[in-house]
Chains A and B, each alone.
Chain A
Amino acid sequence: MNYNWNWRIFFEPSPEGTGTYADMLLSGLSWTIATALCSWIIAFSLGSLIGVLRTLPSRGAQRVGTTYVELFRNIPLLVQMFLWFYVVPEILPGSWGTWLKQLPNSSFYTAVICLGFFTASRVAEQVRTGIETLPRGQRMAGTALGLTTWQTYRYVLLPNAYRVILPPLTSEFLNNLKNTSVALTIGLLELTARARSMQEFSSQVFESFTAATVIYLGISLIVVTVSSKLETRIAVPGSR
């Protein structure tokens, strides 16, 4: 293979003039992490709410939940990204739209909201499954004690459901983190985008992508380790 390897490229200054190529990748990494964490907060809370809606006895609530999930699962993430970035500011009332477009770091906020709403539909499905796998009697026992519906979810159903769905929820967290790379299409300078610009500036294709790959693998490893530690910690004594 006639390719000129140059692993020292990372320590050479990037043409942006603010540091080395390594610094460039690290800055990308921090945007990736920031986007992933902020969008996860939305995804987790909104997803839990939607998931709960789908398990309520009320037909109306179920329909709202189902519609949300169907809507956000059946449009490609990239299209959703474009809708939030290009379309939403246009169809908002004039002054709001202008404000949105002029917001500094608007691609970051857009990515956070887009990923948050997108991943929420997937979290919702996990939460719903988790609640549905609990014995039906658990809800009855809470209700029979006089707990309100909200209290039954808060103190009985959700604490158990989250324990059940921790492993698939970890996968969704990682999917959300990987999906931050889609935001490079709206100009977010996250890790993949930075690896791509490093490749363009330096022509060292494989070094750039190898570095990004290793970083993604490292994050996955850390998240999976933390999650299994968490699983042991929150495991209920006496349960299988």
Chain B
Amino acid sequence: MSAIDPQASAKPMIAIDNISKWYGPVQVLNGCTTQVTKGEVVVVCGPSGSGKSTLIKTVNALEPIQKGAITVDGIGVQAKGTNLPKLRARVGMVFQHFELFPHLSIIDNLMLGQCKVLGRAKDDAHDRGLKLLGRVGLSAHSHKYPGQLSGGQQQRVAIARALSMNPIVMLFDEPTSALDPEMVGEVLDVMIELAREGMTMMVVTHEMGFARKVANRVVFMDRGEIVEDATKDDFFDKPRSERAQTFLSKILAH
């Protein structure tokens, strides 16, 4: 076992062990190691092009890696016998550009995975879908189509869609960076509530306010490497690396 933090005695929900990734000759991830334990909220931040979005997409194998290993709930993501669709169904993911399915109504967006992947009956999936829409405050919109909703509403639906699969962990890939500023709050509120309910979360974001409020740990990346992996307080109060200090001063300046 390499670099496992001695304090993290709890079983890791996500364990990323020394992974590297190349696009052709360009290395985009370089020996990244970190983990997310059950119930923990980990924020991943860093300048654009630092590899943070790529890192989070390797967790459910949307991006393949060339070196290292990742396990989710003890199951090897790269292992030969792993049923990837089954594993992905247990890992919820929210994308920067929402990626709701434009040809399906909101409720159908929430039912697709439940019916086709989990094999739930339509009625059951419909009820659960409506309940989740209620949780994100969008019950009234169940029969509209994604194109008829605002960006903030679409992203809340996307969160509900991910939750409809009863995930054991949620991945967020810059969930607010494609939103108009006035819509960021409504999405963050849903995420904060989710964190307080104890959901295990890995969140790529620039929203340092969100990190301060609910994160347990912050992972700072630059040029494909994990430069800092610290508790929230350590990261904000005494960042060790110069790169993290520069990043923080820039991002907190506005």
Contacts and interface: CB of A to CB of B under 8 A. Distances in A.
Q: Say if the two chains contact directly (CB < 8 Å).
A: yes
A201 interface: no
Contact of A237 (B99, B148, B162): B148
B101 A141 contact: yes
Contacts of A148: 85
A237 B60 CA distance: 32
A147 B97 CA distance: 19
In this complex, the member of B102, B117, B148, B165 whose beta carbon has the largest number of chain A beta carbons within 10 angstroms is B102
A145 B148 contact: no
Contact of A160 (B93, B102, B116, B165): B102
Interface stretch (B29-37, B139-147, B218-226): B139-147
B85 A144 contact: no
A145 B165 contact: yes
Contacts, number: 80
A147 B147 contact: no
A144 B60 CA distance: 7
Size category of the B interface is 20 to 34
B89 interface: yes
Interface in A119-177: 135, 137-138, 140-148, 151, 155-156, 159-160, 163
A238 interface: yes
Interface size class of A (residues with CB under 8 A): 20 to 34
B202 to A, nearest CB: 13
A151 to B, nearest CB: 5
A137 B102 contact: no
Given A135-B99, A146-B113, A156-B101, A239 B88 contact: no
Given A137-B96, A140-B95, A146-B113, 18 more contacts: A137-B97, A137-B99, A140-B99, A141-B93, A144-B60, A145-B113, A145-B161, A145-B162, A145-B165, A146-B86, A146-B88, A146-B118, A147-B85, A156-B101, A160-B101, A160-B103, A238-B102, A239-B102
Interface of A: 135, 137-138, 140-148, 151, 155-156, 159-160, 163, 236-240
Interface of B: 57, 60, 62, 85-91, 93, 95-97, 99-103, 112-113, 116-118, 144-149, 161-162, 165
